[in-house]
Amino acid sequence: MLLKLTYNYFLEKKRQVYDIPSVVTSFFLVLLLLYFSAITVLMGVFIEKIITKEFPDLDVLSVLNKYIFYYVLGDLLVRSILESTTKFNLKPYLYLPIKKSTLLVFLQVRSLFTFFNYFPFLFLISVCIGSGVDKSSLIIWLVVMTLQLFINTSLSYNFGKTIGKRFWSWVLIMAVLSGVLYLDFKQYIFLSDYYQVIVDKVIAMPLLLIIPVIIYCAVFAITHQLLKKKLYLDDETNSTSYSSFDLGNFIQGDSQLWTFIVYESKMILRNKRMRQSLIMSVVFILYPFFTIFDKNSGDIQLFFFSFFPATMIPSTFGQFMFAWEGSYFSFIRTQPFTMKEYVKAKYLMYAGLTTLVVLPLSLIYLAIKPIVTVMICVGYFYSVGVNLLLMMFLATYNEKKVDLDQQNAFNFQGVQAKHMLMVFPILMGVLIIFGGFYYLISLKAALISIVVIGVLGMLVHRPLINLVTDNLIEKRYKMTEGFKNS
């Protein structure tokens, strides 16, 4: 039965209709996959030389095991945020004489074959190929790490389908994982050292492999039982969960503008894909941490890492604007309001959301590296004044609706090649402006120039909104047809 379900899954994928834009998008994605696969392989092959150079007196696998602990926690954190499991429609099978336990086993086994496991496993294989360590030790190490990946997969699947359904439980899990990572990295606790010793013991005594096997089987069984309680036809077809937070409780007024903003906030909070996009936009405020501790990083590199989180909300939500509502875009067009009110409400909504997320969270860098807070605020002005309006204009060319019920991680439904091309004018434009003033004058002049351009964009946002509105009115019939056919 598991083989039949697997066959049906691939048959469903095979029968999907692909238009030319989808093929172009897939081509770019394949190129990215090959690129990152090559980087992963090279990293795995040369990791032994890197470790030997930095720690000449220590065992290679032992050092690697210590750092793998950080990856394990970080991987679990990211998986839980992104809900990394792929989608499979179970509804047709619930009517058939198939045991629910069989369906759940199929789901859990299939969840092992994701991109979250592909790149780590490719890295592990590359380490085994390029390492000069005893092959028997490498094989045992590979088995242990593979079991660790499987345990992470089952745990994250468990979180996403059970505990993660409750917002505060999910926040608690994220806080605990993040706290453990931070405390161990700062050496207030020493869990990574214990993890290193345990894995070293398993490699030295292969009989201890039974321990990770038992742990994985236990996690698999617990997840299976929890999911079994949730797998009912009524739950699959009729139940719908909504966020308890309602912006309407805080915004009073009967104007059309406020109505649109409340509607937009509900759409974000009630739909999985938009909700995950918002979460990722908040998480990306930590992006500058990748470079602030690097003494060799220059001002331009630091600005790029600081600008990126400031533009996440305008870029993430802006490029799919109007496509989010593709399923009922025709209905929106028939309502008694002007397109200008519709576009203006979206601009104010996402400008306000960017303000609420970026500015307060940027303050965490004041105690570490104040210039990062300054650069994030500079990026905020440019993002709201220029990028958001630019993305809204480019979004009027969207002709493929977005399925809001699907997850956000590694989901390219609704993605077109033009969405990838949108990134270039955003990143390259601001870097060219910043770099020009930086090399010709100074860092202060470069930052001021970005702020001035952003503020000018805010001051002239009304005529720019009119430009977006005019283009939306011109393209509305073509967009409607594209949304219906996608």
3-state secondary structure 301-370: HHHHHHHHHHCHHHHHHHCCCCCCCHHHHHHHHCCCCCHHHHHHHHHHHHHHHHHHHHHHHHHHHCCCCH
- State how far the Cα of 38 lies from the Cα of 28, in Å rounded to an integer: 15
Helical axes 191-204 vs 60-82, angle rounded to 10°: 120
Which domain-ending residue is among 238, 261, 281? 238
Residue 12 resides in a domain: no
Q: Which domain holds residue 294?
A: 247-485
Backbone φ/ψ region at 58: left (φ over 0), alpha (ψ -120 to 50), beta: beta
Q: How many Cβ atoms from other residues are within 10 Å of residue 207's Cβ? A: 7
In a shared domain, residues 150 and 299? no
Residue 166 resides in a domain: yes
Please tell me the predicted confidence (pLDDT) of residue 35: 87
In a shared domain, residues 98 and 129? yes
In a shared domain, residues 112 and 46? yes
pLDDT digits (tens, 9 = 90+) for 65-92: 888 888 888 888 777 666 555 555 666 6
In a shared domain, residues 405 and 445? yes
Burial of 247 (0-12, 13-18, 19+ CB in 10 A): middle
Residue 402 resides in a domain: yes
Phi, psi of 218 (to 5 degrees): -65, -45
Which domain-ending residue is among 212, 238, 264? 238
Q: How many domains does the chain have?
A: 2
Which domain-ending residue is among 238, 267, 301? 238
Residue 23 resides in a domain: no
In a shared domain, residues 229 and 259? no
pLDDT digits (tens, 9 = 90+) for 184-206: 888 888 888 888 889 888 888 88
Residue 277 resides in a domain: yes
Residue 101 resides in a domain: yes
In a shared domain, residues 157 and 295? no
Residue 28 resides in a domain: no
In a shared domain, residues 253 and 217? no
Residue 207 resides in a domain: yes
- State how far the Cα of 150 lies from the Cα of 219, in Å rounded to an integer: 10
pLDDT digits (tens, 9 = 90+) for 240-280: 444 443 434 434 444 666 777 777 777 777 777 777 777 77
Q: What does each of the 486 residues of the chain score in pLDDT, given as a tens digit?
A: 666 666 666 666 555 555 545 566 667 778 878 888 899 889 888 888 888 888 888 888 888 888 888 888 888 877 766 655 555 566 666 667 777 777 777 777 877 877 778 888 898 898 888 887 788 888 899 999 999 888 888 887 766 665 555 666 667 777 788 788 888 888 888 888 888 889 888 888 888 889 989 998 988 888 778 777 766 544 443 444 444 434 344 344 446 667 777 777 777 777 777 777 777 777 777 777 766 666 666 778 888 888 888 888 888 787 778 777 777 777 777 776 778 888 888 888 888 888 888 888 888 887 778 888 888 888 889 888 888 888 888 888 877 777 666 655 555 555 655 666 666 777 778 888 888 888 888 888 888 999 999 999 889 888 898 998 888 888 888 877 877 776
In a shared domain, residues 477 and 344? yes
In a shared domain, residues 372 and 305? yes
In a shared domain, residues 85 and 164? yes
In a shared domain, residues 188 and 150? yes
Please tell me the predicted confidence (pLDDT) of residue 214: 92
Q: How many Cβ atoms from other residues are within 10 Å of residue 271's Cβ? A: 18
In a shared domain, residues 297 and 233? no
pTM: 0.62
